A and B are shown apart, each in its own frame.
Chain A
Amino acid sequence: MKKIKLPMDAVHKRLYFLFGVVLILIVLSLVAPWLCPHDPNLTDLKLAKQPPSSEYPFGTDSYGRCVFSRVLMGAKVSIFASLALVMGTFIFGTAYGVVCGYYGGKVDRALMGVVDILLAFPDMILAIAVAGILGGGLINAMIALAVTGWTQYARLARGSVMAVKSEVYIQAARISGNSHSRIMWRHMLPNISGPLIVTATLQIGGMMMGIAGLSFLGIGVQIPQAEWGSMINEGRSLMQTAPWIILYPGVVMLLAVMIFNLLGDTVRDLLDPKQQTI
Chain B
Amino acid sequence: MKRKVLIMLLSLILMVAVLAGCGNSETGSSGKKHLVWGETQAVSSLDPAVDWQGWFTVRYAISETLFKLDMELVPEPWLAESYENVDANTWKITIKDKVTFSNGDPLTAEMVVNNLKRVGSTNKRAAAFGEAAYVVAGNVITITTASPFPTLINELCDPYTSIIDLDKTADLDKAPIGTGPYVVADFVEKTTIDLTANKNYWDGTPKIDTVQVKFVTDTDTMVMALQSGEVDVAMNLTSDSRETFESNNDFKIEEVSTSRAYFLYYNLQTVADQAVRQAISMAIDKEGMADFLFDGSITPAVGAFPNDLAYGGSHLKGATFNVEEAKKVLSAAGYIDTDGDGIIEKDGKPLSVSIVTYKRLKNEAIVTELQSELKAIGIGGEVTVHDNSDFFKAGEFDIGIYSIVTTAVGDPQAFLSGTLGTAGVTNFGHYYNAETDQLLIQLKAEFDSDKRAQLAIEVQQKALDEFAFDNIGFVNMAMYMDANITGLKPHPTDYYQMNAEMDMN
A63 proximity list for chain B (CB < 8 A): 293, 365, 368-369, 372
A223 proximity list for chain B (CB < 8 A): 364, 367-368, 371, 383, 385
One of A28-36, A40-48, A92-100, A191-199 at the interface: A40-48
One of B60-68, B125-133, B150-158, B283-291 at the interface: B283-291
B501 within 8 A of A: no
B292 proximity list for chain A (CB < 8 A): 45-46, 48, 64
B220 and A236 within 8 A (CB): yes
B368 and A224 within 8 A (CB): yes
Bound together, the chains give a CA A218 to CA B243 distance in angstroms of 25
A275 within 8 A of B: no
Bound together, the chains give a CA A239 to CA B292 distance in angstroms of 17
A237 and B238 within 8 A (CB): yes
Bound together, the chains give a CA A45 to CA B71 distance in angstroms of 32
Which residues of chain A from 238 to 275 have any CB-CB distance to chain B below 8 Å in the complex? Answer: 238-241
A173 to chain B, nearest CB (A): 54
B368 and A237 within 8 A (CB): no
A62 proximity list for chain B (CB < 8 A): 240, 293, 365
Could you tell me how many residues of chain B have their Cβ less than 8 Å away from some Cβ of chain A? 27
User: In chain B, what residue has the closest Cβ to A241?
Assistant: B243
A41 proximity list for chain B (CB < 8 A): 371-372, 375
B244 proximity list for chain A (CB < 8 A): 240-241
B359 within 8 A of A: yes
A241 and B289 within 8 A (CB): no
Which residues of chain B from 189 to 246 have any CB-CB distance to chain A below 8 Å in the complex? Answer: 219-220, 223, 238, 240-241, 243-244
Given A218-B359, A241-B240, residue A136 in contact with residue B385 (CB < 8 A): yes
B274 within 8 A of A: no
A171 within 8 A of B: no
The digit string for B333-351, where 1 denotes a CB below 8 A from any CB of A, is: 0000000000000000000
Bound together, the chains give a CA A237 to CA B244 distance in angstroms of 10
B289 to chain A, nearest CB (A): 7
Q: Which of B243, B289, B373, B383 contacts A222 (CB 8 A)?
A: B383
B484 proximity list for chain A (CB < 8 A): none
Bound together, the chains give a CA A238 to CA B383 distance in angstroms of 23
B285 proximity list for chain A (CB < 8 A): 45
Bound together, the chains give a CA A237 to CA B285 distance in angstroms of 23
B383 proximity list for chain A (CB < 8 A): 222-224
Q: B interface, by DSSP: helix, strand, loop or mixed?
A: helix
B11 within 8 A of A: no
User: In chain B, what residue has the closest Cβ to A132?
Assistant: B387
A73 to chain B, nearest CB (A): 15
Bound together, the chains give a CA A258 to CA B371 distance in angstroms of 34
Bound together, the chains give a CA A45 to CA B359 distance in angstroms of 21
Bound together, the chains give a CA A62 to CA B239 distance in angstroms of 11
A237 and B240 within 8 A (CB): yes
Which residues of chain A from 19 to 58 have any CB-CB distance to chain B below 8 Å in the complex? Answer: 41-43, 45-46, 48
A222 proximity list for chain B (CB < 8 A): 383-385
A239 proximity list for chain B (CB < 8 A): 220
Bound together, the chains give a CA A240 to CA B241 distance in angstroms of 8
Bound together, the chains give a CA A63 to CA B292 distance in angstroms of 8
Q: Which of A45, A136, A236, A240 contacts B369 (CB 8 A)?
A: A45
B227 to chain A, nearest CB (A): 9
Bound together, the chains give a CA A222 to CA B369 distance in angstroms of 14
User: In chain B, what residue has the closest Cβ to A65?
Assistant: B372
The digit string for B351-379, where 1 denotes a CB below 8 A from any CB of A, is: 00000000100001101110111010000
Q: Which of A42, A218, A237 contacts B385 (CB 8 A)?
A: A218
A147 to chain B, nearest CB (A): 21
A64 proximity list for chain B (CB < 8 A): 292
User: In chain A, what residue has the closest Cβ to B218?
Assistant: A236
A240 proximity list for chain B (CB < 8 A): 223, 243-244
B263 to chain A, nearest CB (A): 19
User: In chain B, what residue has the closest Cβ to A240?
Assistant: B244
Which residues of chain A from 153 to 209 have any CB-CB distance to chain B below 8 Å in the complex? Answer: none
The digit string for A58-72, where 1 denotes a CB below 8 A from any CB of B, is: 000011100000000
B371 and A224 within 8 A (CB): yes
Bound together, the chains give a CA A188 to CA B85 distance in angstroms of 93
Bound together, the chains give a CA A42 to CA B291 distance in angstroms of 18
Bound together, the chains give a CA A240 to CA B219 distance in angstroms of 14
A191 to chain B, nearest CB (A): 48
A218 proximity list for chain B (CB < 8 A): 359, 385
User: In chain B, what residue has the closest Cβ to A42?
Assistant: B372
B367 to chain A, nearest CB (A): 6
B223 proximity list for chain A (CB < 8 A): 237, 240
B503 to chain A, nearest CB (A): 29
Which residues of chain B from 425 to 449 have any CB-CB distance to chain A below 8 Å in the complex? Answer: none
B367 proximity list for chain A (CB < 8 A): 223
Bound together, the chains give a CA A136 to CA B356 distance in angstroms of 13
B288 and A45 within 8 A (CB): yes
Bound together, the chains give a CA A239 to CA B220 distance in angstroms of 9
The 6 closest A-B pairs by CB, nearest first: A45-B292, A43-B372, A237-B240, A223-B383, A45-B288, A241-B243
A-B contact pairs, 24 of them (CB 8 A): A42-B372, A42-B375, A43-B369, A43-B372, A45-B292, A45-B293, A45-B369, A48-B293, A62-B365, A63-B293, A63-B369, A63-B372, A64-B292, A136-B384, A223-B364, A223-B383, A223-B385, A224-B368, A236-B220, A237-B241, A238-B240, A240-B223, A241-B240, A241-B243
Instruction: List B residues at the A interface (Cβ < 8 Å).
Output: 219-220, 223, 238, 240-241, 243-244, 285, 288-289, 291-293, 359, 364-365, 367-369, 371-373, 375, 383-385
* Besides the known contacts A41-B375, A62-B240, 10 further A-B residue pairs in the complex with CB atoms under 8 A apart: A43-B373, A45-B285, A63-B368, A63-B369, A64-B292, A223-B368, A223-B371, A237-B223, A237-B240, A237-B241
